[in-house]
Amino acid sequence: MAGVQVANVSRSFGAHKALDDVSIDFADGGFYALLGPSGSGKTTLLRQIAGFDFPDSGRIAIGGESVERVPVEKRRIGMVFQNYALFPNMSVADNVAFGLSVRGEAKATIAAEVQRALDLVQLGKLGARKPHQLSGGQRQRVALARAIVTKPRVLLLDEPLGALDKALRVDMQIELKRIQREIGITTIFVTHDQEEALTMSDRIGILRDGRLVQEGPPEEIYDRPQSEFAATFLGDANIFRGNATGNGILLADGTTIAAAVGDRLVPGAKASCAVRPERIQISTGVVKPDTGNANSLKGQVSKRIFAGNNSTYFVDRDGQTLKVIVQNTGAERLAEGEPVVLSWSPDSTVLIAA
């Protein structure tokens, strides 16, 4: 097992810069999500780490060993593909055995290792089946068993759960995490699903247009996004744009929003504030001064979406629609069209340089 270092990696396809000076350190044994919209370069980065494609410049190391010019078959990685890429002409057991067999391992060793890997993904009895006789979730497990049976130094997953339906996806998330913990392998996981990234990974790297936007533990990125993009791509956020004051921003209409999180900025500079929808309180009356909710705005409910455990209110305010999520505590629900006051704490407000 080994960590992976990506240092100043760039890769262009013609005039398109797919990766632009990306550096990330993937710690040994960690579970890392590369998150970004399509075309952000996350898959390109994964393919550089796998060795399907080589960077134009920069360095990639696995376990301290430079590999940026080593082809994939010599990198000792395991990879799970988006559509599993199971070999259709082989049985499940032969699929899993493939990596050991091309290495010329003894038949008995292969059989034992394959059984162990299939047991690990709870498919111990299905070795004789053909891939087309399996369900989507089972194929996923076979692909995973095939990728880890060779004891790779790093496990790469390219949107592995994208083809599964929602319930199965949640099961597989838990399962994948369990297996990863059990074998302790460094795992790099490409996804465009922010929820998946949040729930599964130790660290997240957000990519956009070939650049690394922000990188860190999920909680840190969620609580302290460093850009509007990071704030809105990982979770939902209400964004206010204005000019920086000493401890917040001043909106165009003269409202001040106090922010206690994020960088201090030079007063007057263009800046924005991000507030998570669940951090905002919504009420029909006046806000009590002792709640610590120094920020308050007036608005009007334009829409309410009831989702059982919570409700989302869309509140119109001066041409902007703000989103507020309220837990279902049994309290009275607000009607559409009702005038409301929104309030929240500066501790829930992140100041972001524009």
Partner 1 sequence: MATTRILEWLGRFYIVLLLGFLYLPIIIMAAMSFNASPFYQLPFEWTTDWYASLWQNDQLIAATWNSIEIAVITTIISTVLGAMASLALYRYEFRGKKVLQALLFPPIAIPWLITGTAMLIFFFGIGIGRGLVAILLGHVALALPYVIVVVSARLQTFAPELEEAARSLGANQWQVTMRITLPWIMPGVIAGGLFAFAVSFDQFVVSYFLSTPGQTTLPVEIYAAIRKGFTPEINAVSTIIIVVSMALMLLTARFFKFGGEK
Binding site for partner 1 (CB under 8 A): 50, 52, 71-74, 76-79, 81-83, 85-89, 98-99, 102-103, 132, 146-147, 150, 156
Residue 85 beta carbon to partner 1: minimum distance, rounded to whole angstroms: 4
Residue nearer to partner 1 on the CB measure, 82 or 310: 82
CB 343 within 8 A of CB 317: no
Residue nearer to partner 1 on the CB measure, 155 or 204: 155
Cα→Cα distances 29→182, 185, 187, Å: 11, 5, 7
Whole-number Å distance between alpha carbons of 207 and 143: 26
Residue 21 beta carbon to partner 1: minimum distance, rounded to whole angstroms: 26
Residue 73 beta carbon to partner 1: minimum distance, rounded to whole angstroms: 5
Residue 302 beta carbon to partner 1: minimum distance, rounded to whole angstroms: 46
The encoded tokens of residue 77 equal: 């990685």
CB 277 within 8 A of CB 323: yes
Residue 121 beta carbon to partner 1: minimum distance, rounded to whole angstroms: 16
Residue nearer to partner 1 on the CB measure, 93 or 213: 93
Residue 129 beta carbon to partner 1: minimum distance, rounded to whole angstroms: 14
Residue nearer to partner 1 on the CB measure, 52 or 306: 52
Closest-CA residue to 82 (of 142, 170, 162, 152):
162
Residue nearer to partner 1 on the CB measure, 151 or 304: 151
Sign of the dihedral through C-alpha 311, 315, 321, 325: negative
* Radius of gyration of the chain, Cα coordinates, nearest whole angstrom: 24
Residue nearer to partner 1 on the CB measure, 71 or 339: 71
Alpha helices in 150-283 (DSSP H): 166-183, 194-200, 218-223, 228-233
The encoded tokens of residue 78 equal: 């395991």
Whole-number Å distance between alpha carbons of 351 and 208: 20
Whole-number Å distance between alpha carbons of 3 and 154: 8
